[in-house]
Structure 1
Amino acid sequence: MSTVLETIDGGTRYLEKRGIDDARRNMQMLVARQLGCTRMDLYLQFDRPLMESDLAPLRENLKKRGEGIPLQHLLGQVFFHRNEFICDSRGLIPRPETEELVEWILRWDLPEKLDVLDVGCGSGVLGLSLAAARPGWQVTLADISEDALSLTRENAAALELANVSTIHSDLFSNIPGTFGGIAANLPYVPETERPTLTTEVMHDPALALFGGPDGLDVIRRFIPDAYRRLKPGGWLVLEIGHDQASQVAGFLEKSGFSRIEVKSDLSGIPRFPLAWRD
């Protein structure tokens, strides 16, 4: 019978041999999930023997992790901006950069009541995080994927948010009205980069990743309509690829936006274009 520490050590070695980054943390998270505790709790249970009823599902998840299935999918959840979100293959695994975007928006001096639209919402982490932090806002979340929207609805229900609604829509095709703010994390990976992506990234929906030959097909189509759907004084903010800032800024200027700026993420990459409609 293996103890908690022996199980963590053995699983860590297994993951390291299969090239999994941060193998020990991964194994600790899998064990903690199986035992229904936190990673920190494990340090007080190193000598605890594990029953076969715990070891069997751990072995199965360990095998899947070694095959490149994302840790977040095996855990079934991810922590993002102060909240737990359900996480599975229906939506993109939330990236730290998107969390930076949420923090940036929430630091702005914005009205207590505001109609906000999240286009390409995926699992809903962007729009739902804004709704949770700003109860006076009405946040609409839209996606072309019904699977993604079902995940968004489950996350909204889990967070008990009453100030959100969802719409199945290809960009603005089914979305009525205008908004005070629009946020979007749209597909921006060039199709040419598909062969270079990791096994883990390829577990994300292709529909949410790839934006045509240069990665900008969806964004190029989205920006002019976004201008028309903003109220005067409204803002648009995007998350884009590492080398797309100048092109996207050009799209924004051509579409009539003013006060265009691009904020860098914590790695110094120009990641978040912001523009206003006068």
Structure 2
Amino acid sequence: MTTVLDILDKGTAYLEKRGIEDARRNMQMLVAHQLGCTRMELYVRFDEPIDDSHLEPLRLALKKRGEGTPVQHLLGSIFFRNHEFKTDARGLIPRPETEELAEWLAKNVTLSDGARILDMGCGSGVLGLSLAADFPEAEVTLADISTDALDLARENAEFTGLKAHFLESDLFTALPADQTFDLIVANLPYVPEAEEVAREVRHDPALALFSGPDGMDLIRRFVPEAAQRLAPGGWLAMEIGIDQSSETEVLLRAASLTDVLTVKDLSGIPRFPIARKP
């Protein structure tokens, strides 16, 4: 008889041997998902036998996780802020840092009813849709160059019941020339092309990761264009990579934006450049 604790212990050891970080938590997530309970509920079910109907799906998921398939893809969803979102290979797996940016904006930005929000490079839509929840009276637009990512974002809007407009666009090319926004957010690709990324990250679309030799190509295009699309007093907020804050701040000031600062993430890395249009 295989119990919940047995499968947790054996699965954890299997993942550890294959170099999976936080192996115990990963195994807890897989087992909880298979049993339809929370990770915390597993603690009171340690001695419960696992039916054979659950074992084979668990073995398959465990094998894929050991080969580097992200646990989020195996579960099919992720919690971000106050909602559960679908996640798969069509879009970048939402990172905790992006959630920090969403929380900072919810606490520090005030928008009037009818304000316009743009999530440029929206991917799966978690950032823009979270802002739609935080600013329910705003008009939110999610834009991305990837049709696959936009399809996933639309599914997430339907899945969560949050409302937004969707637009396929290479940065601002498909937007009306006179359209402006009160808040523009962007988590654009910022990884240098030659950089070796973690095994799990390789499951993300390359289009959502890499941006030129130093990772700054798209950011250099984006900042001056975004500055032109801000309404007076509008906010621009971004997520960037390590060691990119100094150049990004220069770009923001060169675009005549004010109140420029880069907020650090919980690891102390300057991660979120913020600026406003006078």
TM-score exceeds 0.5 = yes
Q: Give the partner amino acid of 2:120.
A: V
Q: Give the partner amino acid of 2:185.
A: A
Give the structure-1-normalised TM-score. 0.96
> Pairwise mapping of residues 239-254 of structure 1 onto structure 2 (< 5 A)?
239-254=239-254
Which SS does the other structure have where 1:235 is aligned?
strand
Query: Separation in 2 of the partners of 1:120 and 1:87?
Result: 16
> Pairwise mapping of residues 212-231 of structure 1 onto structure 2 (< 5 A)?
212-231=212-231
Which SS does the other structure have where 1:107 is aligned?
helix
Query: Separation in 2 of the partners of 1:102 and 1:156?
Result: 17
Q: Give the partner amino acid of 2:191.
A: V
**C-alpha deviation, 1:128, in angstroms:** 0.5
Q: Give the partner amino acid of 1:212.
A: G
Query: Separation in 1 of the partners of 2:109 and 2:206?
Result: 36
Which SS does the other structure have where 1:183 is aligned?
strand
* Residue of structure 1 equivalent to 2:186: 184
Query: Separation in 2 of the partners of 1:48 and 1:112?
Result: 53
% identical equivalent positions = 61
Query: Separation in 1 of the partners of 2:269 and 2:10?
Result: 38
* Residue of structure 2 equivalent to 1:129: 130
Query: Separation in 1 of the partners of 2:29 and 2:71?
Result: 8
CA deviation vs aligned residue, 1:67-98 (integer Å, no higher than 9, x gap): 01101110111111111111111111111111
* Residue of structure 1 equivalent to 2:22: 22
**C-alpha deviation, 1:154, in angstroms:** 0.8
Residue 146 in 1 paired to residue 169 in 2? no
Query: Separation in 1 of the partners of 2:272 and 2:109?
Result: 18
Which SS does the other structure have where 2:108 is aligned?
coil
Query: Separation in 1 of the partners of 2:24 and 2:103?
Result: 29
CA deviation vs aligned residue, 1:191-219 (integer Å, no higher than 9, x gap): 121xx211101111110000110101001
* Residue of structure 2 equivalent to 1:120: 121
The 8 Å contact of residues 111 and 182 in structure 2, kept in 1 or not, is answered as: no
Query: Separation in 2 of the partners of 1:49 and 1:235?
Result: 54
> Pairwise mapping of residues 151-166 of structure 1 onto structure 2 (< 5 A)?
151-162=152-163, 164-166=164-166
Q: Give the partner amino acid of 2:184.
A: I
Which SS does the other structure have where 1:92 is aligned?
coil
Which structure 2 residue ranges, 5 or more long, are not aligned?
Answer: none
* Residue of structure 1 equivalent to 2:4: 4
Which region of structure 1 is more displaced relative to structure 2, 173-182 or 40-49? Answer: 40-49
* Residue of structure 2 equivalent to 1:170: 170
Residue 33 in 1 paired to residue 30 in 2? no
Q: Give the partner amino acid of 2:146.
A: S
Which SS does the other structure have where 1:192 is aligned?
coil
Q: 4+ residue runs of structure 1 moved beyond 4 angstroms? A: none
Query: Separation in 1 of the partners of 2:40 and 2:240?
Result: 35
The 8 Å contact of residues 111 and 135 in structure 2, kept in 1 or not, is answered as: no
CA deviation vs aligned residue, 1:176-200 (integer Å, no higher than 9, x gap): 211111000000011121xx21110
* Residue of structure 1 equivalent to 2:66: 66
Query: Separation in 1 of the partners of 2:161 and 2:37?
Result: 24
**C-alpha deviation, 1:112, in angstroms:** 3.5
Which SS does the other structure have where 1:259 is aligned?
strand
Q: Give the partner amino acid of 2:133.
A: A
Query: Separation in 2 of the partners of 1:264 and 1:40?
Result: 31
Residues 134, 71 of structure 1: CA spacing in aligned structure 2 closer, same or farther, 3 A cutoff?
same
CA deviation vs aligned residue, 1:102-122 (integer Å, no higher than 9, x gap): 111111241232100000000
**C-alpha deviation, 1:49, in angstroms:** 1.6
* Residue of structure 1 equivalent to 2:93: 93
